[in-house]
DNA sequence: AACCTAAGCGGAAAGCTATTCCGGAACTAT
DNA sequence: ATAGTTCCGGAATAGCTTTCCGCTTAGGTT
């Protein structure tokens, strides 16, 4: 039961938040250097043989195939379809990504990180309220154009239940900062958490998918207006 | 292969809208007239033998079982679970409800109709904006407390794709009237369609399910505030 | 260059669920 | 009671996911 998942996507302490170190995407040669190439006086007797070259190649093929298939068939496309396109057996796919959410995370990590990274720049160049709106727009665009991603975020499927937590952990801090700033400047109400918005936006992006992202954008815009409404009541009394 | 689906829930012309004639709920003797009820000059010699008593009994058992299972396991519980609880074989379930959406429709028809029926009373006793809000609250409560219903409304599952259309057709007219009135009185913006709201509310109710309806209520409230914001800009210029 | 070893591979097998099919049981009218 | 249907139940079929395991082969060793 309590095994250790997290295959390709290693674990992160908590969150680099708005920092610049986005957690190496589908990182390959990255920090995945377990066996110390030449440890000074490191434990000698453990040379796990490294990782084989073909294994890395297959992993890359899988990521590329998954990216393509996710676009054409959505994130819940049959595993076989992805494996076939990658030219490997399903066994290989499952060894690299025991949970489907691992694959989804790996495929979108780059884009999620880009969203996160955009936060600081927005706060620096815009008023808090504008920064928040622009960021949400970007996030909405991301979710709404990834067939099935938004739905996957609250599908209930056990193989995907790690996704919401992942998103929360990843973009939570950034969004939190934007929200706090906007609330502090009085541009939006203060009783909204990052979690609220993340879930709400995901919900509003889900129905769409094949309807065009236009619907999602409009609805999210309404929601954001709602946040403003709470902060600036049209009839300030006494 | 183009058979005729729509088992228990026969088809409706269009929509009694806010009318009082809600389309007989788990209606039995109702419009379940398969081969021409009594065509004027239709083939006379056809006394369809009525419907067998045990068949009706099984159908009732199924509806009751489904209602119970939907609460405990959500609307996407295994068909077998429902059939077992009803004490019938799965074949029987599928004969009565060829599409899963047929079963879902039949189970919730009563409540959906109640929502629809509440529309006129609300408009009669409240200001347009209030009536709209109250109605949406009620609708939200309904969706948010039916495990999996909101998700089912845009799951993409082919067996459920008839649901959104059904809801749209059923509650669309009522919501449309409420929206029009509220827009006419200047309480909300005018560029929102019943479809928009129905889908958006469903989306906002979906993530929740097992989180309590509180989240859904809050988010929907934000959305409604957003509609007001558009109609009553906080800083009327010019 | 030949050899060894275990990392890694592929696809068959096992497990689920949905959906269809059909022989036979049960009901209704006569 | 009998005939004629309607219905039932569950076995059979089909599509997926996920696991397992013998064979292949990369890559270090001699």
Quick check: helix, strand or coil at residue A237?
Answer: coil
Least confident range of B80-84, B98-102, B122-126, B157-161: B157-161
Query: How many angstroms separate the CA atoms of B52 and B49, rounded?
Result: 8
| Pair B64, B134 in one domain | no
Domain-embedded: residue A17: no
Residue A148 DSSP one-character state: T
Query: How many angstroms separate the CA atoms of A73 and A61, rounded?
Result: 17
Q: Is the C-beta atom of B95 closer than 7 angstroms to strand D?
A: yes
| Pair B214, B177 in one domain | yes
Give Cα A48 distance to the centre of its chain.
Answer: 31
Q: What is the pLDDT of residues A40-74, one digit of tens each?
A: 434 444 456 678 899 999 999 999 999 999 999 98
Q: Is the C-beta atom of A87 closer than 7 angstroms to strand C?
A: yes
Res. B211 pLDDT band, cuts 50 70 90: low
| Residue A206 pLDDT | 85
Whether B226 has a pLDDT exceeding 70, the answer reads yes
* Spatial distance from the CA of B65 to the C1' of C18 (Å): 19
Q: How far is A176 from chain B (nearest CA, A)?
A: 17
| Pair B85, B119 in one domain | no
Q: What is the pLDDT of residues B35-70, one digit of tens each?
A: 344 434 344 455 566 789 999 999 999 999 999 999
| Pair B116, B225 in one domain | yes
Residue B159 DSSP one-character state: G
Number of cross-chain residue pairs from A and B with Cβ atoms under 8 Å apart = 100
The shortest CB-CB distance from A226 to any of B153, B209, B222 is to B222
Residue B209 region by backbone torsions, left for phi larger than 0, else alpha for psi between -120 and 50, else beta: left
Domain-embedded: residue A27: no
Subunit contact A222:B230, Cβ cutoff 8 A: yes
| Residue A161 pLDDT | 85
Tokens 């409560």 -> residue? B141
What's the half-sphere exposure (Cβ side, CA atoms, 13 Å) at A59?
20
- Residue among B225, B228, B230 with most chain A CBs within 10 A, to mutate: B225
The answer to whether residues A159 and A100 touch, using CB atoms and an 8 Å cutoff, is yes
Q: Which residue of B has its CA nearest to A204?
A: B203
Its sign, for the CA torsion B219, B222, B227, B230, is negative
Domain-embedded: residue A115: yes
Q: Which residue of B has its CA nearest to A224?
A: B226
Subunit contact B227:A222, Cβ cutoff 8 A: yes
| Pair A211, A120 in one domain | yes
The answer to whether residues B226 and A226 touch, using CB atoms and an 8 Å cutoff, is yes
For residue B221, which of A196, A216, A186, A144 has the smallest C-alpha distance?
Answer: A196
**Token output for A233:** 């009541």
Query: How many angstroms separate the CA atoms of A23 and A132, rounded?
Result: 23
| Pair A114, A223 in one domain | yes
What's the half-sphere exposure (Cβ side, CA atoms, 13 Å) at B125?
8
For residue B122, which of B194, B177, B204 has the smallest C-alpha distance?
Answer: B177
Query: How many angstroms separate the CA atoms of A86 and A79, rounded?
Result: 11
Subunit contact B200:A221, Cβ cutoff 8 A: no
Res. B237 pLDDT band, cuts 50 70 90: very low
| Residue B126 pLDDT | 95
Query: How many angstroms separate the CA atoms of B46 and A166, rounded?
Result: 63
Which residues of chain A register pLDDT less than 50?
1-46, 233-238
Res. B235 pLDDT band, cuts 50 70 90: very low
| Pair A175, A217 in one domain | yes
Q: Which bases of chain D are under 7 A from a protein CB atom?
A: 5-11, 15-21, 25-29
| Pair A130, A197 in one domain | yes
Domain-embedded: residue A30: no
Domain-embedded: residue B144: yes
The CATH number given to whatever domain includes residue B178 is 1.10.357.10
| Pair B55, B149 in one domain | no
| Pair B107, B83 in one domain | no
Its sign, for the CA torsion A138, A140, A145, A148, is positive
| Residue B158 pLDDT | 82
Which residue numbers of B have CB closer than 8 Å to A's CBs? 74, 148, 151, 153-156, 192, 196, 199-200, 202-209, 215, 218-219, 221-230, 232-234
The mean pLDDT value for B167-185 works out to 95
Of B39, B65, B98, the one marking the end of a domain is B98
Percent of chain B exceeding pLDDT 70 equals: 75
| Pair B139, B183 in one domain | yes
Domain-embedded: residue B124: yes
| Residue B183 pLDDT | 94
Of B81, B98, B115, the one marking the end of a domain is B98
| Residue B194 pLDDT | 96
Query: How many domains does chain A divide into?
Result: 2
The CATH number given to whatever domain includes residue A91 is 1.10.10
| Residue A188 pLDDT | 94
The mean pLDDT value for B77-95 works out to 95
Give Cα A217 distance to the centre of its chain.
Answer: 19
Instruction: Write the DSSP string, B164-231.
Output: HHHHHHHHHHHHHHHHHHHHHTTSS-S---HHHHHHHHHHHHTTTSTT-HHHHHHHHHHHHHHHHHHH
| C-alpha triplet A150, A117, B220: angle, nearest 5° | 35
> Which protein residue lies nearest to nucleotide C20, measured between its Cα and the C1' atom?
B91
Which residues form the domain of A57? 52-98
Chain A residues with CB under 8 Å of B221 CB are 226
| Residue B142 pLDDT | 95
Query: How many angstroms separate the CA atoms of A118 and A136, rounded?
Result: 11
Q: Which residue of B has its CA nearest to A164?
A: B207
Q: Is the C-beta atom of A147 closer than 7 angstroms to strand D?
A: no
Top-confidence residue, B238 or A167: A167
Domain-embedded: residue B140: yes
Query: How many angstroms separate the CA atoms of A73 and A60, rounded?
Result: 19
| Residue A44 pLDDT | 45
Chain A residues with CB under 8 Å of B218 CB are 196
Domain-embedded: residue A94: yes
| Pair B127, B91 in one domain | no
Give Cα A134 distance to the centre of its chain.
Answer: 18
With 0-12 / 13-18 / 19 or more C-beta atoms within 10 angstroms meaning exposed / middle / buried, residue A215 is: buried
């Amino acid at each position: 039961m309590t095994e250790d998942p997290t295959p390709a996507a290693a674990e992160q302490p908590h969150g680099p938040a708005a920092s610049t170190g986005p957690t190496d995407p589908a990182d390959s040669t990255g920090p995945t250097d377990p066996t110390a190439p030449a440890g000074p006086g490191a434990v000698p007797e453990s040379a796990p043989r490294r990782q084989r070259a073909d294994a890395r190649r297959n992993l890359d093929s899988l990521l590329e195939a998954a990216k393509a298939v996710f676009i054409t068939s959505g994130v819940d496309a049959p595993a076989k379809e992805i494996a076939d396109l990658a030219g490997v057996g399903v066994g290989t796919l499952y060894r690299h990504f025991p949970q489907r959410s691992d694959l989804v995370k790996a495929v979108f990590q780059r884009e999620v990180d880009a969203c996160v990274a955009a936060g600081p720049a927005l706060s620096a160049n815009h008023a808090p309220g504008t920064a928040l709106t622009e960021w949400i727009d970007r996030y909405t665009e991301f979710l709404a154009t990834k067939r099935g991603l938004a739905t996957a975020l609250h599908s209930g499927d056990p193989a995907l239940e790690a996704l919401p937590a992942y998103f929360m952990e990843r973009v939570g801090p950034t969004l939190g900062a934007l929200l706090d700033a906007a609330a502090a400047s009085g541009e939006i109400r203060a009783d909204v958490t990052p979690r609220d918005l993340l879930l709400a936006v995901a919900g509003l992006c889900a129905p769409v998918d094949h309807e065009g992202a236009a619907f999602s954008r409009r609805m999210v815009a309404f929601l954001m207006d709602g946040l403003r409404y709470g902060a600036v009541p049209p009839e300030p009394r006494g």
